[in-house]
Structure 1
Amino acid sequence: MIRNDTLRNVLNFALFQAGWFVCVLYPGLPAAGFVVLLLVFHMLFVSQHRFTELQFIGAGTVLGGVLDGIWFQTGILDDGTGNVQITPVWLVGIWAIFMTTLSHSLSWIVSKPWLPFVCAPIAGPFAYWSASALGAVQLPNLTLSLAALALGWLIVFPGLLYLRKALYPELIR
C-alpha cells in the first residue's frame, strides 16, 4: 500500500481517467475486465480500508447502475439500438471506478457543504455528454437529457457523499 496521500490521490485520479476512457472508447466486456484490474490495483495500492471501501464501492455502483438503467428506460440515454434492458456493463464499470474517487482524489469536494451541489449537476452531465461525443452513448433529446442528468446528479452525488459519511466514516479523511 502506498503511504503518501498525494501519490495515492494522483494515482486514483489517473486510474479513474484511464478506466473512463477505456470504458467509453471500447464499451463492452473487455472494458469491464479492465475495470476489474483497476479495482484490484486500487485495493492493493491505494485503499487504506479495503473491506469498507469495497462495500462503499459496491453500494454506489448498484445505485449508479440503477440510475443509469432508469435513464435508459425513460429515453434520457440511448445506446443507439433503443432497446437497452439493463445498464450496459461498461457504464456499471465507470460507476465502480468513480466510487473509488469519492474517498481519494475527489475527497476534497466535501470541504464546503455547498460544493457537491454546485459541481455535480455540471460535472455529471458533462461526463455523459463527453461519452456521447465519443460515440459510447446517445443523448436523444440533448436539452432534456442534460437537464435530467443534472437533476439526477444533483441528488445522487451528495447522496453518495452522505452515504459514505453515515455508513463508512473511516473512509473520510
Structure 2
Amino acid sequence: MPIRLIANALLFQAAWFACVMGGTSWWLLIPTAALLIHFIWISSWAAEGKLVVSVALVGAAIDSFLLQLGVFDFASTDTLVPIWLVLLWALLATTLNHCLAWTAKPIWLASILGAISGPLSYFTGSALNDSVMLPLGTQHTALILAPIWALIFPLLHGFAHLYREQFRLLQMSRRD
C-alpha cells in the first residue's frame, strides 16, 4: 500500500480522535494540521478543495438538521453543529479519493458501508465525548442514521468523482 494512502488514513484517524475528544479546544489544531498536510503532501487544494468544502457544507447541513430534529444533542450548541463536527466532514472528504476510494464501487458497497460505518462513528463519538448525546437512544438513532448514510456515502463518492473529472478536464485544457 502506498505511503500516502497510509498517511491519509492515519491523518484522518488522528484528527477524528482529536475532534471527538477535544471538542472546541486547542485539539482542533490537529485536524487543521491534518487538512494542511493533506493539501501539501497528499493532494492539492486545486484538486480537492471544492470537494472538501462541498462535503463539509453538506455534512454540516445534514447534521444541523438532525440536531434540530432531536437526533443529536451537543452540550455546546443547539442550533448548528459544533465546528469540530464540520471539520470531521471536511476530513472525511480528504479520504474519498485516497484511503476510502475502494469503497466507491460498486455503489451497493458504498451504501452498505455507509449504513454501517456512519452510525458507528456517531455512536463511538457519543461514547467518547460526554457532550455528544443521542437523545433517541442507540436503536432509534441507528434506524434514522443507517438509511441516511446509505444514501450519503455514495453521494459523497459521486461528488468526488464529479470534481475529479472536472479537475482532470481542466488540467487537459491547460495542456492544450
TM-score normalised by length of structure 1: 0.88
Equivalent position of 1:147 in the other structure: 143
Q: Where do 5+ consecutive residues of structure 2 fail to align?
A: 169-176
Structure 1 residues not aligned, in runs of 5+: none
Task: Render the CA deviation track for 1:95-114: whole Å, top value 9, x for unaligned.
Answer: 11111000100001123231
Q: Is the 8 A contact 1:23 1:31 kept in 2?
A: yes
Q: Which position in structure 1 is the counterpart of 2:121?
A: 127
3-state SS, counterpart of residue 111 of structure 1: coil
Distance 1:46 1:170, change over 3 A: farther
- Secondary structure at the residue paired with 1:114? helix
1: CA distance, partners of 2:53 / 2:162: 16
Higher helix proportion, which one? 2
Map Cα deviations across residues 1-46 of structure 1 (whole Å, 9 max, x no partner): xxxx711110000000000000011101524332221111111111
Question: Moved runs in structure 1, 4+ residues, more than 3 A?
Answer: none
* Greater C-alpha Rg: 2
Structure 1 stretch displaced more, 146-155 or 119-128? 146-155
Give the partner amino acid of 1:164: A
Identity percentage over the alignment?
30
Partner residue in 2 for 1:52: 47
Which of 92, 101, 117 is equivalent to 2:111? 117
The question of 1:104 aligning with 2:90 is answered: no
1:69-84, aligned counterparts within 5 Å?
A: 69-80=64-75, 84=78
Q: What RMSD in Å do the two structures reach over aligned CA positions?
A: 1.9
